[in-house]
Amino acid sequence: MKTEITLQSVPEEKPGFIAIILYVAFVYGLFWGINQCLMYFFQDITNELLIKTLNNILWIGFMFLHYKVVKYFLHLINKQRKRPVIYPVLGISREGINYYTESKEMVWGSISEIQIIDSVLSVTVDLNPKKDFKLNLSKTDLHTQMTQEIFEKLLKYHYKKEVYIYNTPSSCGCGC
């Protein structure tokens, strides 16, 4: 059995360029459709002042929406261009647990409780509650290194007290 492991973060998924282009095409198609519908509803209005006022309100609204679309488009492009940052999150060794994200090191004797509930690891330290932490294991590379069952066995091997494990059964969607 492996007695030491370091879990690393999983970079978030990036949007593809095709998805970004389809998003922009959809939004501008939606703008065009809304514009055509509004033109149809406003064709019966004969008051010229009302038409100019409504036209200016619509123009300002479309410019605001255009600003939001371009801003989000640029956000997606920047997100696509960033390199993924992978950093260590959790280290398990013979001595204890090291939670790198918040620089929390604990020896096995100081830990009062370890729980894994629906792939969320919770570590509790009674003497120093500032060292308590929760970690979502699905946001780490645990499943590329080992299965969750082997990880649970590794925790039980090092932590001599009870490790509480609870997994909610998956729902079939039938209301049972």
Note down the domain range covering 112: 87-166
In a domain, 22, yes or no: yes
In a domain, 141, yes or no: yes
Q: Where a domain ends, among 51, 81, 111?
A: 81
- Judgement on whether residues 98 and 126 belong to the same structural domain of the protein: yes
User: Span 56-76, mean pLDDT?
Assistant: 83
* CATH number of the domain that residue 95 is part of: 2.30.29
In a domain, 10, yes or no: no
The residue type at 52: K
* Whether the predicted pLDDT of 171 surpasses 80: no
Kindly indicate the confidence band of residue 57, based on its pLDDT and cuts at 50, 70 and 90: confident
Three-state helix/strand/coil letters over the chain: CCCCEEEEECCCCCCCHHHHHHHHHHHHHHHHHHHHHHHHHHCCCCCHHHHHHHHHHHHHHHHHHHHHHHHHHHHHHHHHHCCCCCCEEEEECCCEEEEHHHCEEEEHHHCCEEEEECCEEEEECCCCHHHCEEEEHHHECHHHHCCHHHHHHHHHHHCCCCEEEECCCCCCCCCC
Half-sphere exposure of 176 (CA within 13 A, CB side): 6
Q: How confident is the model at residue 94, as a pLDDT? A: 86
Return d(Cα 93, Cα 68) in angstroms, integer.
48
Higher model confidence: residue 2 or residue 156? 156
Kindly indicate the confidence band of residue 35, based on its pLDDT and cuts at 50, 70 and 90: confident
In a domain, 143, yes or no: yes
In a domain, 105, yes or no: yes
- Judgement on whether residues 96 and 147 belong to the same structural domain of the protein: yes
Domain count, the chain: 2
- Judgement on whether residues 37 and 52 belong to the same structural domain of the protein: yes
Pick from 77-86, 91-100, 105-114, 153-162: least confident? 77-86
* Whether the predicted pLDDT of 1 surpasses 50: no
Q: Where a domain ends, among 61, 81, 101?
A: 81
Kindly indicate the confidence band of residue 173, based on its pLDDT and cuts at 50, 70 and 90: low
Kindly indicate the confidence band of residue 2, based on its pLDDT and cuts at 50, 70 and 90: very low
The answer to whether the predicted template modeling score (pTM) of the entire model surpasses 0.75 is no
In a domain, 172, yes or no: no
How many residues in the chain? 176
- Judgement on whether residues 31 and 75 belong to the same structural domain of the protein: yes
